[in-house]
Chain A
Amino acid sequence: MTAPLPAPASALSPSTGAAGPVVEVRNLRKTYPGPKGSTARKVAVEDVSLSVAPGEIFGILGPNGAGKTTTVECLAGLREADGGSVRVLGVDPQTRPERVRDVLGVQLQESALNEKITVDEAMSLYASFYDAPADVEELLVMLDLVEHRRVAYAKLSGGQKQRLSIALALVGDPRVAILDELTTGLDPQARRNTWDLVERVRDRGVTILLVTHFMDEAERLCDRLVVIDAGRVVAQGSPAELIDALDDTRTVRLRVPAADRDLTWHTLAGLVDVESIDEVGREIEVSGTRRVLPAVVLALAEHDVVPDDVRTVPRSLEDVFVAVTGRTYDPADGASAAVGPAEGADR
């Protein structure tokens, strides 16, 4: 198992061990021309720095329009940065893109294949571009595409297209793979399968840069991540570190018999550890200090109230986003961010 390399959330360039970073971005800035007749330029990426260690699954997380795709496009040498520096395995993809293409596999959000190309044809075609391609058969097996190998691209399901796209990103046997919005549009089962797949790819020794607007996806997969909002890194670290660094508010939801409802409300409102009580559907939501759960349970026991259900509301990256931006997380909302041409629409 590859050890994630935890770093303090405050550090700009976390230590990445003796091997040095595989991908390094420093103060990246990228603007696009503004609307016609205006000289103002839209800022897609204001200031992004990140550093990815070998063997990591590194997340770039944020709402649509935050600058995620622009960042990885600069990494892949598809766009020219306005400022800052980018290195992939020590090489600048901005000036020497041809040196990066052999070792960087890219799965892009907005790219399709010819509708009539079959899985087999696409795989052999893309394999032919590389000096030392991966084993096509092995990839087809791993991505569960063997039985679809003679199917034309247009006839594949969304999940199959996505898997083919991943297979094509890996067919050059890359050392780094960029996976952009991998699970958008997939059903829950296909999403979970894709997550397993990403971990298997990492186990092959591929360092992965995962671009996503799904908080749960980042939390589940990433060893470390940066949260990007409006073109800036607003938080970074491992998911656990980010969540642990939140303030100490804890939330509990409980359901009590209707007869005990008023008593419960009254009892809990008087506790020192409780900061707020709300009604959420049939549940009562209680927020307070770290001690809110034992305090609530104890107080109810004293009054002989037996709740039907008690559950803690786990804290997630979503809470991290709220804490650092002051907004609730709306993945489709790029309102506060400048929207780059490649990242405007949510499909």
Chain B
Amino acid sequence: MTAATLAPTLPAARSHGWRGFPTLLATESRLWLREPGTVFFSLAFPTVLLLGVTFAIPGMREPITGTGSAWDGRSAIAAYVPVVLAAAVATPALTTMPVSFAGFREKGLLRRLSTTPMRPQGVVLAHLVINLVAIAAAAAVALAVGALVLGYPAPEQVGTVALAFVLTATSMMSLGVVIASRTSRASTASAIGSLVYFPLLFLSGLWTPGPMMPDAVRQVGQLTPLGAASQAMTAGWFEDGFPALQVVVMAVWTAVLLPLGVRLFRWS
């Protein structure tokens, strides 16, 4: 019955590999929202961090005095705002995103996709988009809540802060892709992510924000993506000069890590 209708020929290739990407992005977004842990850490963590630091640590709302620098007279919590923005990027990029990529690989989801006309790259791209949107939203929420509850000065150089923030996102996401590129288990990705996450947060000034950071830490930190991120945003927010070194550092990290991550990435 079927033999006659099934000549062994193929029509010209109909697939371009990205058909269905909008559906994929929509579906992955819905699934992303169904993970309460991921949603909390990606969207609410920066705000919680900012408010927590403000109200849990005594003296954060007092003005800084006696540093003999531009910081004098500003509330200590203001120095935290760039750090919180850096954390808003680092948290999804180094914790939730690599874990979900490794999970896809572990479950054979990427392998399953590679038998369809959709390329497994599609699901990676969809998650980069989702995480970028989440990062932007998380930063916006943290800034809005912070401005409402705490009040802090507007950035001196909005463009510089925006550029620094974008570069923070690209360099940290690239680092996240490298971590996710080979790990075959979600738990391994989680462990490696944390191993990188906490030292980077330290270098970004989570424990020693703004003027409280020792010089040695600052020297090392400015060469790391997240240290450079908070320093560049601090400079853009409170100072006049352009943080050229930090911007170049983040651009170089992105330029090195992103191709590396794409190159190393395994589908199964």
Contact string against A for B residues 1-31, beta-carbon threshold 8 Å, 1 for contact and 0 otherwise: 1111111111001110101101110010011
B108 engages A112 (CB within 8 Å): yes
B116 near A101: Cβ-Cβ < 8 Å: yes
Q: Is B137 an interface residue (CB 8 A)?
A: no
Interface-side segment among A15-23, A28-36, A233-241, A313-321 = A15-23
Does any Cβ of A come within 8 Å of B263's Cβ? no
Interface size classification for chain B: 35 or more
In the complex, chain B residues whose CB is within 8 Å of the CB of A110: 108, 111
Chain A residues with CB under 8 Å of B51's CB are none
A128 within 8 Å of B (CB atoms): yes
The answer to whether A55 and B116 touch across the interface, beta carbons within 8 angstroms, is no
**Chain A contacts of B4 at CB under 8 A?**
19
In the bound complex, do residue A91 and residue B115 qualify as a contact, i.e. CB atoms below 8 Å apart? Answer: no
Q: Which residue in B8, B35, B109 is a CB contact (below 8 Å) of A90?
A: B8
Enumerate chain B residues within 8 angstroms of A112, measured Cβ to Cβ: 107-109, 112
- B3, B5, B34, B108: the one within 8 Å of A108 (CB): B108
Tell me the interface secondary structure of chain A in the complex: loop
Binds B, one of A114-122, A188-196, A209-217, A257-265: A114-122
Q: State whether A104 touches B15 (Cβ < 8 A).
A: no
Nearest-neighbor residue (CB-CB) of B28 within chain A? A114
Contact B19 A128 (CB under 8 A): yes
Interchain CA distance A69-B259 in the complex, whole Å: 32
Centre residue among B10, B27, B116, B118 by max chain A CB count within 10 A: B116
A114-B109, A116-B31 known; A172 vs B117 contact (CB < 8 Å): yes
**Bound CA span A100–B109, Å:** 19
B112-A130 in contact (CB<8A): no
Is A101 in contact with B115, judged by CB distance below 8 angstroms? yes
Which residues of the partner chain A approach B121 to less than 8 Å between Cβ atoms?
A: none
With A2-B3, A205-B2 in contact, is A99–B10 under 8 Å at CB?
yes
B114 at the interface (CB under 8 A from A): yes
CB distance from B115 to the nearest CB of A (A): 4
Report B43 CB to chain A, min CB distance, Å: 18
Contact B6 A205 (CB under 8 A): yes
CA of A61 to CA of B86 in the docked complex: distance in angstroms?
A: 56
Task: Assess whether A129 is in contact with B8, with CB atoms less than 8 Å apart.
Answer: no
Q: Are A131 and B15 in contact (CB under 8 A)?
A: yes
| Known A112-B108, A117-B27: A89·B5 in contact at CB below 8 Å | no
What 0/1 readout, one digit per residue, does chain A (32-60) give for beta carbons within 8 Å of chain B?
A: 00000000000000000000011100000
Whether, in the assembled complex, A106 has its beta carbon less than 8 Å from a beta carbon of chain B, the answer is yes
15 A-B pairs whose Cβ atoms sit less than 8 Å apart in the complex: A2-B1, A20-B7, A98-B13, A100-B10, A102-B15, A102-B117, A108-B111, A112-B108, A113-B109, A114-B31, A116-B34, A124-B27, A125-B27, A131-B117, A207-B6
- Which 4 A-B pairs have CB atoms at the shortest separation, nearest pair first? A128-B20, A111-B108, A55-B2, A54-B6
Q: A22-B6, A90-B8 provided; 20 other pairs, C-beta below 8 A?
A: A54-B6, A55-B3, A77-B115, A78-B111, A90-B10, A96-B13, A98-B13, A98-B15, A99-B10, A102-B14, A102-B117, A111-B112, A113-B109, A116-B34, A121-B30, A125-B20, A129-B116, A131-B117, A205-B1, A207-B6
